[in-house]
Structure 1
Amino acid sequence: MTSRVRSSLKAGIITERIRFRDGAAAIESTTLIPNARIQAPVRRGVQFPYTAQLKETSMSTRALDPEETTQWEQVSPRHVSPAQWKKFEGYAGEIFSAFGMKLDTPGTRETPSRYLRALYEATSGYEGDPKLLTAFPTECHGGPDCNISQVIEGPIEFYSLCEHHALPFYGHAYIGYIAHEEIIGISKLTRLVRVFARRFTVQERVGVEIADELVRALRPHGVAVHLNAMHLCTQMRGVRESHSRTWTSYWRGNYENDPHLRAEFLQTARSRSDH
């Protein structure tokens, strides 16, 4: 007697298995999915002991935000076929081997596969659509205070891959806005940063995309975005400057014309960066 068991794997692969009486399992098919979790490395068509309990994993079982009506972070899943995935593993192995890695040790046999899984996870921002963000009615109902009262959130950690060298840059984002008719949930600011950051990109673009999306979604009186990050492409190679940081700021609306608003925002951001 056999039974089919479906399991999600950390590599971003869904594996369809047939379970036999003796506890062995054979892979029948594999399908790549985003952000899945792997229990153990597998190979297509290989017999292996059935040692872990397999469970169904789907979008509905993930940790979802009950306030969010659309799962806008995962609306455009990338599709990589098992054949493509296997081919990419081979390419990665060839590169690692040519550069000096010994791929026949217990610690390195699965390195090409682990590398691809890590790269896939680190670029999951491509699967999100920030245009599906939800907003709520503002709490400001008239008066001059509505034009200067800031909502400031940060530090928000982010990790990106530089599109020039595919090396990481990472740091903190600070977001401020002056609400008009709508506000956004604070946690959505964090998720918005990560949708744009978890890609092959540059720091300047991340800041512009965050600012422009908040303007589009909220139509606020103003938006401020401040990023500071360390770039491994300048620390591990090139000039090898190990302690430098890159600071970028972006202004929209009232912030563009009011130096006091900018100063207040930057003072708040820098005071939080000291903790």
Structure 2
Amino acid sequence: MKNKEQEAFEAAVKTMMRSVGEDPEREGLLKTPERVFKAYEFIYGGYKEDPKEILQSATFTSSNDEMVLIKDIELYSTCEHHLLPIIGRAHVAYIPDGKVVGLSKIPRVVNVFSRRMQIQEQLTEQIAEAIMEALDPKGVAVVIQARHMCMEMRGVEKINSTTTSSALRGLFKKDEKTRAEFFNLINAPMGNRY
């Protein structure tokens, strides 16, 4: 049973389809408004998740004080200006100060913020801030490299251009050697995966 919110959403999709010259009653499009509603529920699921709760659900005491890096985290987001895809990868590192977090929680936090309407610069900052707040580490570094379909599919139509953004906190911002180590690691080839 559809609620009023879903009915309104589906009506808006039909209006959009008509405005671009389509017939929402055409056989192939009859279920499109419902499919779009379900897709948007997933794509924008980040609004319903709390990154702090995710990080704190798997935080452990540790004597480790060396960099922890998870690189090449795939991300899919949506440009808040055009509602077109942003496709990229994130590299996230932190230096523990008495506690570490389960490794799977870092990509989950990337997903929480990616699954919202975004600009890349804000996305990068939000990930860094969430980790700083939840773990209080000695430092956090986040780099995102992404392609923006609003630049490729429309406007300037620059195919394969990549935008890189970074957010550095604590030792990654203050200490040149720590920062250099991070950038060397994220730019190093993966090599043998096992």
TM-score, scaled relative to structure 1 = 0.65
More divergent stretch after superposition (188-197 vs 93-102): 93-102
Residue 21 of structure 2: which of 78, 82, 100 is its match? 100
Give the drift of 1:273: 7.8
Deviations 1:180-227 (A, max 9, x none): 111001000010110111001111111111111111111111111110
Aligned partners of 2:87, 2:132: CA distance in 1, in Å? Answer: 24
Aligned partners of 1:100, 1:154: CA distance in 2, in Å? Answer: 43
1:255 counterpart SS class: helix
Hey, what does 1:90 align to over in structure 2? 11
The residue type equivalent to 1:137 in the other structure is T
Pairs aligned (count): 189
Give the drift of 1:267: 1.9
Identity %, equivalent residues: 35
Aligned partners of 1:167, 1:273: CA distance in 2, in Å? Answer: 30
Gaps of 5+ in 1: 1-29, 32-81, 141-145
2:28 counterpart SS class: coil
Hey, what does 1:246 align to over in structure 2? 163
Pair 1:120-2:44 in alignment:
no
Aligned partners of 2:9, 2:170: CA distance in 1, in Å? Answer: 46
Hey, what does 1:138 align to over in structure 2? 62
Task: Report which of the two structures shows the higher radius of gyration computed on alpha carbons.
Answer: 1
CA contact (8 A) 1:155 1:272 kept: no
Moved over 6 A (4+): none
Gaps of 5+ in 2: none
Pair 1:228-2:149 in alignment:
no
Aligned partners of 1:246, 1:269: CA distance in 2, in Å? Answer: 16
Aligned partners of 1:214, 1:242: CA distance in 2, in Å? Answer: 33
Aligned partners of 2:127, 2:190: CA distance in 1, in Å? Answer: 19
Aligned partners of 1:272, 1:153: CA distance in 2, in Å? Answer: 14
Give the drift of 1:155: 0.9
Hey, what does 1:46 align to over in structure 2? none
2:78 counterpart SS class: strand
Give the drift of 1:260: 1.8
Hey, what does 1:59 align to over in structure 2? none
Hey, what does 2:116 align to over in structure 1? 199
CA contact (8 A) 1:211 1:252 kept: yes
Hey, what does 1:263 align to over in structure 2? 180
Pair 1:169-2:86 in alignment:
yes
1:265 counterpart SS class: helix
Structure with higher RCO (Cα < 8 A, 6+ apart) = 2
Aligned partners of 1:89, 1:220: CA distance in 2, in Å? Answer: 45
Hey, what does 1:153 align to over in structure 2? 70
TM-score, scaled relative to structure 2 = 0.91
Pair 1:178-2:95 in alignment:
yes
Give the drift of 1:270: 2.1
Higher helix fraction (1 or 2): 2
Distance change >3 Å, CA 150–CA 116, structure 1 → 2: same
The residue type equivalent to 1:138 in the other structure is S
The residue type equivalent to 1:234 in the other structure is M
